[in-house]
Structure 1
């Protein structure tokens, strides 16, 4: 069964493929006549120094996918997906009543270094840059899809966060949001590495949800196309070792790694506008649009390459917008 649905990327590291030639060695006396200003973050390079191949996105199913470490993330990265990611970020900020974080990172002192793992379009990182102008905000992702118009204290880097981290200085706060399906071992690759990369007293916060649809009144039938889609998504992601259902394990993993003062908040996200409360109704409508905009991109690679279905079969099996809109009191659940 083919699980790596596009060819391996040409770039497997920052310097892969580069040839270095040293023409001469400077005279020792000249070293006293020159001054090189030390870089305060020597390991934190610039994204525009990466090879052009990083931005040569492979195209499948009429969508583009990331080139760096190709195949390790099965969802698109094109303009349509970027718009959806921004919509998703807005929906979650609305769900949290405008809060960008719940960790008390500013109670005793202003954070100096903040890391956003899997930053996507960088929307959250840029909002944090505006909220904490004295902090250095670093966002990392596999795809260079972030805006160039960013606050001066926000910096984006192309990194595979599943590999060993090499940040030269510790962070005050590390943040992850909706990384389901992005890691084979979230506990080790993200939580453990975050624990090691935080200064004493630093905070890690993960905002994620399980791919599940829950109906409060029982109107979501188990044989509906929506329920079948949820099952297929979870099944396919498990087969390739990139599970979607892990939000319910986050607190346990945090504590097992060694974090203390661990808090968990669980939110219901209406799947459409059924909720009576105005804010929940608004969030539900945003989430419905987010879900429908992403439905094809979520499904095509997993269902064709992992479940070995034809593209036409996949598209015909997806939940209809009318079914999602009429789902009644159903919701996703999110753990923070």
Structure 2
């Protein structure tokens, strides 16, 4: 069990030199997937059909294709059937709507995933047309509204990934300060809801005092909030937004951001997060890497959501 650093007196946090624990998201995800594989097998052994997930990709965004490819590969490992519908970015909104309507009415389809981003001519709120019962991402107003009201619902996968990490490190954040960097309606906002929610109710939150910043928050203000935060969760897509001097010693830093940059030494593409890893690892108590941190857990929780939906539709 991880040491509960926040139960130590303040002087201890200030003077003791912490050894940073780098959180291995892959290992946590692999355990979830192995358990899920057993659960799916037990489900199909009872003569239920295998859970199904249909993903829709619009356009040629390379990141989207990589994400969906990884999801499909992992789904096959746990026994979930997948279908990927690829459409050119020239697809009409009418045709995309018709596709979603067909999937909603197809009994054999348990979950529908509309991969973002979408072309500019497509209404960004088109995912609202996905049936809430098949909304595996938890993005529809029906599901997100229940989440905000702390009711049982389908919770966004990245939120579940962050929740799992915080549960794994086993720290009581009740009354502690949480900083969320990022205000997107699909990631930053629901993560903030998770952190401040009551852990006794459906969402299983963390009772933290929560502040939301974003990429346009002045650096001096962001630094002030970071230095006072016991946990920082960042999801802005801005490389090195969080620097070592900003971070409170012993704090928990979870990096949800992802960007592709050119490595100045190798001149090759490199995936990085919002956190300057080399600087922050000298200060933080717990830290997630990019890649290998939140990403693998997000995929695992997507498949967990898929199975949860299928089990409700085929009890």
Q: TM-score, normalised by structure 1?
A: 0.30
Tell me which protein shows more helix as a share of its residues: 2
Instruction: Answer with 1 or 2: which has the greater Rg.
Output: 1
